[in-house]
Amino acid sequence: MALSTVNPATGKTEIIIDPHSPEEVDARIAEAHDAVQALRSTTFDQRAEWMRAAAAILDDQAEGLGELITVEMGKPIAQSVAEVHKSAKALRFYADNSAGFLADALVDDPSTVGASRAWTRYEPLGVVLAVMPWNYPLWQVIRFAAPALMAGNAGLLKHASNVPQSALFLDTLFERAGFPAGSFRTLLIGGADVGRVIADSRVKAVTLTGSEPAGRSVASIAGDHIKKAVLELGGSDPFVVLASADVVRAVEVAVRARINNNGQSCIAGKRFIVHTDVYDEFAERFTMAMAALVVGDPLDPATEVGPLATADGRADLAELVDDARARGARILTGGKSLDGAGWFYAPTVIADLPDDARLVQEEAFGPVASLYRAADNDDALRIANQTTFGLSSAVWTTDPDEQEWFVENLDAGAVFVNGMTVSYQELPFGGIKRSGFGRELAAVGQREFCNLKTVWKA
């Protein structure tokens, strides 16, 4: 299969890139395997220096890289440039903190285990494969690569087929920054070729960010070969607004939570569950704000919502909305693809969804918000948890008891109180239920791809 950049704002094919042959893939795995040996003799300080050099490259090239991201997947240019700087920040974060995150830890009283000294140590696993999505072409990869390389692992990237130029930029980034050749390599392959790479004995683990079907396939192949896997899959995050909430502020943040990245974010608020006491006010303000968004050319700084990344993605989203409409849901604004070139979809608010609408269970990967009226707090929680996903969540209330109750009872990998979910390198990131398993970011994300070795000394 060919990998290509097709500009989602115009529908024009910008470039077609040939995939790697099986021999080229093999050579790259061999290079990564050799790099693991080379990395063994490097220190945290050395790797940190190279990480900081990689961060400087990103910051220096932020404008050009931002434009590339926008041309490849369509997000508004300011968000693309911000993604580049955010990635640079994560590289520096792991440069600064890895030695501490992975430091040996002494057992306080070794005599209890009959030792003179006992401790634990984190060691790299070796070559780790990362299968990544197109929605944050740089950030998703960097948040894997920075902790993995700082731990002494080598990385192989199988990026989404529609962002090959971003993938090729990443192919050379770490080597340019000083890392040994092969420490990080891109494999230009399709999803069907991933299994062979996971099965290779030189590859020790795999992480995938993407859809449920892809996750199921990758995890089952990893399971067959008894290899560690981390899965970051989809989400249909609840954004709960209770009676005491500041509705004006909640609406402002709800709009951002829904349309950030043209609505194509796993942690976007997708289901807006509003207490009946404030529902009407919220629905009116939210609908007005969604209808007023500026949709258009993502390279124009005034644009707030660009196109969907692919024609298929837009068709899938339109199908979900059409299904809801056909089952009796009310479209408060939007609800249609926009005419003309590119894969634009109108920012949409849908209310009165019947239980059998696909949107109740499935993820809307685009600027489509579902509104739910909750009779009381119990009802709000019931609706929030009635999904197979469990990535993140948000709850808006000024009542400390309600805050605590929702923090305790929301089935999700994270709860943001009076805010929207954002990924920060300082905070663990990941889900439960069908949103996946394992964690990225912070110390815990770095340790996922390490061997925690216990040492006991007589």
Does 232 participate in catalysis according to the annotation? yes
Three-class SS state of 316:
helix
Q: What is the chain's alpha carbon radius of gyration, rounded to the nearest angstrom?
A: 23
Site string for ligand NAP, 331-370 (x = CB under 6 A): --------------------------------x-x-----
Backbone torsions φ then ψ of 56, nearest 5 degrees: -65, -40
Q: For the residues of 200-252, what is the DSSP string, one character each?
A: STTEEEEEEES-HHHHHHHHHHHHHTT-EEEEE----EEEEE-TTS-HHHHHH
Please state, in angstroms and rounded to a whole number, the distance separating the CA atoms of residues 356 and 46: 56
CB of 43 to ligand NAP, least distance (A): 31
Helix axes 164-176, 62-73, angle to 10 degrees: 150
Strands (E), 298-426: 330-333, 348-351, 368-374, 389-390, 394-396, 416-417
Site string for ligand NAP, 384-423 (x = CB under 6 A): -------x--------------------------------
Residue 199 has a CB neighbour count (10 Å cut-off) of 13
Please state, in angstroms and rounded to a whole number, the distance separating the CA atoms of residues 378 and 79: 37
Select from 94-102, 188-196, 271-279, 442-450 the region that touches ligand NAP (CB under 6 A).
188-196
Site membership for ligand NAP, residue 210 (CB under 6 A)? yes
CB of 2 to ligand NAP, least distance (A): 11
- Which of 19, 191, 419, 428 is in the footprint of ligand NAP by CB under 6 A? 191
CB of 305 to ligand NAP, least distance (A): 18
Strand partners, 361: none
- Which of 76, 234, 334, 445 is in the footprint of ligand NAP by CB under 6 A? 234
Which is closer to ligand NAP, CB of 133 or CB of 296? 133
Does 252 participate in catalysis according to the annotation? no
CB of 342 to ligand NAP, least distance (A): 18
**Of 78, 72, 83, 96, residue with least CA distance to 147:** 96
Give the strands of the sheet with 450-457, arranged side by side.
105-106, 117-124, 450-457
Q: For the residues of 96-111, what is the DSSP string, one character each?
A: HHHHHHT--EE-S-GG
Please state, in angstroms and rounded to a whole number, the distance separating the CA atoms of residues 31 and 35: 6
Of 232, 304, 363, 402, the catalytic one is 232
Scanning the structure block, which residue is given the tokens 């298929």? 312
Which is closer to ligand NAP, CB of 56 or CB of 427? 427
Please state, in angstroms and rounded to a whole number, the distance separating the CA atoms of residues 95 and 404: 35
Please state, in angstroms and rounded to a whole number, the distance separating the CA atoms of residues 19 and 116: 55
Which residue is nearest to ligand NAP, using beta carbons?
A: 210
Backbone torsions φ then ψ of 105, nearest 5 degrees: -120, 120
Site membership for ligand NAP, residue 268 (CB under 6 A)? no
Select from 46-54, 207-215, 241-249, 298-306 the region that touches ligand NAP (CB under 6 A).
207-215
Site membership for ligand NAP, residue 160 (CB under 6 A)? yes
Q: How many residues does the chain have?
A: 458
CB of 321 to ligand NAP, least distance (A): 17
Select from 230-238, 290-298, 343-351, 367-375 the region that touches ligand NAP (CB under 6 A).
230-238
125-154 residues in contact with ligand NAP (CB under 6 A) are: 131-135
Of 23, 123, 252, 266, the catalytic one is 266
- Which of 194, 197, 351, 364 is in the footprint of ligand NAP by CB under 6 A? 194
- Which of 214, 308, 317, 374 is in the footprint of ligand NAP by CB under 6 A? 214
2-61 residues in contact with ligand NAP (CB under 6 A) are: none
The catalytic residues are 232, 266
Q: Given the rule CB under 6 A, which residues bind ligand NAP? A: 131-135, 158-161, 190-191, 194, 209-211, 214, 217-218, 232-235, 266, 363, 365, 391
